[in-house]
Amino acid sequence: MTEKDKYAVFGNPIKHSKSPAIHAAFAEQCGQHMQYRAVRVELDGFQRAAERFFASGGRGLNVTLPFKQEAFAFADTLTDRARRASAVNTLSACEDGGIAGDNTDGIGLVRDMVANLGWQLQGRRIALLGAGGAARGVLEPLLREHPAVLMIANRTAARAHELADAFADLGDIVGGGYEVLAGHEFDLVINATSAGLYGELPALPEMGLAERSCCYDMVYGNEPTVFMRWAAQNTAWAVADGLGMLVEQAAESFYRWRQVRPATQPVINQMRQLLAAA
């Protein structure tokens, strides 16, 4: 039997990554001869590890925290969305020996909300909580859906202003501290902060949710997150976590590597069952 094409995800920590299970499911579904493993990389060792991986015949890497900016610098060429995000989560070996960088986080988020959940983004009033790498990585795909307005709210207002200025050419976008949300009504609220990882909620002011409002947390787990519970208490019409985004961004990476697009809903269901059993 011929050797399987090698893929991996680099991160630190990486122990609980679902990516190997997701890509194994994609490979089985699509009949692809490949292997995919999770690799914990030392905090100062990303470049050396990536160089070794590709020199040994590796075909593609996913990159998670805290290495997405280092992957951005490592790539020889970048997609427009990766350049906009200033971060890379997908590296691919090219025929000419170079390494191509992409960011599939934003398209993964949009596909989960639109294709899987049936939410409409066009013409909607969107609040995006957080101004870090997670927020930056999804801004371009969100704005390409032509919302009525997108407001970035962050604990440090200056970072939100900076992001809003960087993406102002793509639509009506405003940035500020969390107080910028006060007195406004939103159709969609997206939590891109890491607060949920610590069981915390961003310091949200009194704000309105529209009649058929949707709330989305990029964090996921085997129970509803603190933000999801806040959304339910504030009578959001629909609430979701980020598991679908995880699978959809992985599917986009898989497509870049293998030129085959897997069906994602069966894999989302499979990952949800794994979480429930944990």
Q: Who's near 241: CB < 8 A, 6+ residues apart? A: 216, 217, 219, 220, 221, 224, 225, 228
CA 238 → CA 138, 217, 233, distances in Å? 20, 12, 12
The annotation status of 233 as a binding-site residue, yes or no, is no
The response to whether 105 counts as a known ligand-binding position is: yes
133 is in an annotated binding site: yes
Q: What letter represents residue 1's amino acid?
A: M
Q: Is 244 annotated as a binding residue?
A: no
Cα–Cα dist 52/2, whole Å: 21
Q: According to the annotation, is 154 in a ligand binding site?
A: yes
Report whether 156 belongs to an annotated binding site: yes
Instruction: Consult the annotation and say whether 130 binds a ligand.
Output: yes
Was 40 annotated as part of a binding site? Answer: no
Name the amino acid, one letter, at 252. Answer: E
Catalytic position from the list 4, 6, 15, 68: 68
Q: Is 93 labeled as ligand-binding?
A: no
The verdict on whether residue 193 carries a ligand-binding annotation is no
Q: Is 220 annotated as ligand-binding?
A: yes
Do the annotations mark residue 17 as ligand-binding?
A: yes
Spatial separation of the C-alpha atoms in residues 210 and 187, rounded to whole Å: 5
Residue 15: active-site member = no
Q: Is 249 annotated as a binding residue?
A: yes
Segments of 137-219 assigned E as strands: 149-153, 173-176, 185-191, 208-217
Q: Are 131 and 156 in contact (CB under 8 A)?
A: yes
Pairing of strands 125-129, 77-78: unpaired
Backbone angles phi, psi at 185, to 5 degrees: -115, 135
d(CA 113, CA 118): 6
The size of the chain, in residues, is: 278
Q: Detail the residues annotated as belonging to a binding site for shikimate.
A: 17-19, 64, 89, 105, 220, 249
Q: Detail the residues annotated as belonging to a binding site for NADP(+).
A: 80, 130-134, 154-159, 218, 242
Active site residues: 68
Q: Detail the residues annotated as belonging to a binding site.
A: 17-19, 64, 80, 89, 105, 130-134, 154-159, 218, 220, 242, 249
